[in-house]
Structure 1
């Protein structure tokens, strides 16, 4: 289990799963792989989803629960608890959202592909922290704090986009029912330390399932249920729950999602025939993130008058930008949602996410290694 709790191994597992999905989709086994992914499982008349949708709407909600628990901890007790400590990475994250959007629209701004602009805005925390763990030995605490806060804030942006942009035909009644279940979940989590513990455990399970079902049926993307439950759960049991399920999220949930999302047939077209959505994502992730984060971070430090001794060097900001370009999980989900009605464009946008994230991964490894070496050379005591 300790291996699955590390930052390195889950990132490698996620990358292998994505590569496997792409390989299966373009191999003689593709028909069988797609048959399994598109097979429907459920209770007729109640809920009947394909395996692919159970993964993206169901299992991925567990990942967002874990992310929301971490986010709440950081906002209340961690790196983002102080507004002064949160403002610099917040401004840098804003640059890492706006510049990729602008680059994407400059390439894919036509009516058929413009809807994909949210795709390159997200950062995959698992991969970003994995690269930091592998290549960042010797980085000062301040740099690590900035990178972690940036990744978390980028994840918030992705969650907000999912909640706001990809919701249509909302069933208000089901949404209100979901909120009732969320409140029950919050209350039950606070009864765990009392003599009502057994009742509370049953209540947690029932209300969690009920909240997910109601959110799904309301028309809002079901992963938002995981976010809400993670934000309202009492902090101590939430952190214990996160610790318990984190290995399963790393070993099962994320690899399965990456496998299903990367199950894309590479189009047999020339480079000139590739969709602008592919080129927009491919450019916006590795280039837009680096430019946006580094530029916004530099300007923020000047405007906020951060003391020279505490400022992040341009090289550190460039490394942060490269890490921000590793989109994978949330970007893949945004790709599915943005082009749900256009499978051809969706598949090419997904290829853009995989290629752009891979480029960012390599660039981040190189830049983080360089900055870690630079800081170790300046302060040998940190080795």
Structure 2
């Protein structure tokens, strides 16, 4: 079980599953596998989703719950436990949205591709943390926490874009009902250390499922339910729940999500057919994210610096920016929505997301490895005084 809780092994499973999905999607059996992904499962006539949606909207909500619990701890007792500390990744996240939009529009302004400006704003938190885990052995926890908060905020922005720009209408009544249930869920979770525990647990499960269903039916991306429940739950029970769920999320949820998300057919588009949609995404994901996150992150540490919190060096911010450029899943979803009805632009956007995310993975792997090696050398020097003095 300790292997499944480690950072590196689940991350490797995640990346292998993603590679397998991409290879299978572009193989002779790809069509058959995609048909399974599009098969509807559920209660006929009442509530049915495709297998792909059950994974992306249902199982992934469990991952977001686990991540939100960790973020809640950091916001209350950890490294983001003051408004000034929490403001730093928020400002960096703003840069990670604003600059990629500007880069994209520099290519697409005034063309039919301009509607795709939200596409490069997303960060795929699962893949970003996976790359960080594989290459980042020895990095200080502050880098991971910074990226965690940054990626969650980026994902929330992506979800807001989906809800506001690409949803025919959000059902406010259902969303409000979900919010009320989250409040009740949070209140009852504080009763888990009482004698009523045996009764409270099944009620919490029902409330959690009801929240997810209502958020989904409201038109808002259902994974936001996992975030809300993770932030609302009483801290100690939430940490215990996270500990129990973590191995299953690592070995089942994330690999399935990675495999399903990567079942994308690489479109056959000639160089002559490429439009600003492709080039805008290709550049905005790696370059826009690195520039936006590192620049705004650097600014945030000067305008909102907390003396109790060490500043991240610019090199660490650059590494976090590269990780932020792994748009992948949410960016693919935004591509489908932004260019709905235009198959050519959709194909080019998909190709841009895959290419830009892959470039970001490579750059992030290099930068994170360099920073991790730097910190390991420094830690080694500190534990060997003689060696430190010689250097």
TM-score class, shorter:
0.7 to 0.9
CA gap 1:70/1:333 in 2 versus in 1, 3 angstroms: farther
Question: Which position in structure 1 is the counterpart of 2:66?
Answer: 66
Assess, with a 3 A threshold, how the Cα gap between structure 1 residues 201 and 299 changes in structure 2: closer, same or farther.
closer
Q: How far off is 1:203 after superposition?
A: 0.4
2:215 corresponding residue in structure 1: 215
Q: Deviations over 1:151-178 (max 9, x none)?
A: 3223223214314542442333333332
Q: Secondary structure at the match of 1:11?
A: helix
The aligned residue for residue 152 of structure 1 is 149
Q: Which residue of 1 aligns with 2:48?
A: 48
Tell me if structure 2 keeps the 8 A contact 1:163–1:224.
no
Task: String of CA shifts for 1:64-120, please: whole Å, max 9, x gaps.
Answer: 222222222221111211233333333333222211111122224467543433332
Number of residues paired by the alignment? 379
Contact 1:7 1:126 in 2 (8 A): no
Q: CA 1:216/1:313 → structure 2, altered by over 3 Å: closer, same or farther?
A: closer
* 1:257 paired residue number: 257
Question: Does structure 1 conserve the Cα–Cα contact (< 8 Å) formed by 2:85 and 2:304?
Answer: no
Instruction: Please say which of residues 284-293 and 253-262 is displaced more in the overlay.
Output: 253-262
Distance 1:264 1:129 in 2: 21
CA displacement 1:105-136 (0-9 Å, x = unmatched)? 22244675434333322334444444444434
| Structure 1 spans left out of the alignment, 5+ residues | none
Q: CA-atom RMSD, angstroms?
A: 2.9
User: How far did 1:301 drift?
Assistant: 4.5
State the match for 1:27 in structure 2.
Answer: 27
Q: Distance in 1 between matches of 2:110 and 2:16?
A: 34
Q: CA deviation at 1:57?
A: 1.9
Offset of residue 375 of structure 1 = 4.5
Aligned residue runs from structure 1 range 84-233, under 5 A: 84-109=84-109, 112-139=112-139, 141=140, 144-163=141-160, 165-166=162-163, 167-233=167-233
Please tell me whether the aligned partners of residues 56 and 333 of structure 1 are also in contact (alpha carbons under 8 angstroms): no
Q: Is the 8 A contact 1:10 1:126 kept in 2?
A: no
**1:42 counterpart SS class:** strand
- State the alpha-carbon separation in 2 of the partners of residues 298 and 180 from structure 1: 38
3-state secondary structure, aligned to 2:48:
strand
After TM superposition, the structure 1 stretch with the greater mean CA deviation from structure 2, 272-281 or 244-253, is: 272-281
Match of 2:382 in 1: 381
Range moving further from structure 2, 253-262 or 226-235: 253-262
- What is the alpha-carbon distance in structure 2 between the residues aligned to residue 354 and residue 11 of structure 1? 19
Bigger Cα displacement from structure 2, 97-106 vs 322-331: 322-331
Deviation at 1:36, TM superposition (A): 0.4
Corresponding residue for residue 285 of structure 2: 285
Contact (CA 8 Å) 2:15, 2:130: kept in 1 or not?
no
Q: Deviations over 1:343-370 (max 9, x none)?
A: 6644543433332222122212222232
Cα deviation digits, residues 207-247 of structure 1 (max 9, x gap): 11111112222222222222221121111111111111122
- 8 A Cα contact 1:93 1:150, kept in partner: no
Corresponding residue for residue 388 of structure 2 = none
Q: Cα gap change, 1:298/1:197 in structure 2, threshold over 3 Å: closer, same or farther?
A: closer
**Corresponding residue SS for 1:174:** helix
Contact 1:137 1:372 in 2 (8 A): yes
User: Residue 366 in 1 paired to residue 366 in 2?
Assistant: yes
Measure the CA separation in 2 of the matches of 1:188 and 1:376: 44
Query: Residues 192 and 200 of structure 1 are in contact (CA less than 8 Å); yes or no, is this contact kept in structure 2?
Result: yes
In the superposition, the TM-score normalised over structure 1's length comes to 0.87
Following superposition of structure 1 onto structure 2, how do residues 292-307 of structure 1 map, counting pairs within 5 Å?
Answer: 292-301=292-301
Q: Does 1:17 pair with 2:17?
A: yes
Whole-Å Cα distance in 1 between the matches of residues 14 and 132 of structure 2?
16
Does structure 2 retain, via aligned residues, the 8 Å contact 1:66–1:242? yes
- Shift in Å, 1:39: 1.0
Distance 2:196 2:304 in 1: 50
Q: Which residue of 1 is the match for residue 323 of structure 2? A: 323
TM-score of the two chains, using structure 2 as the length reference: 0.85
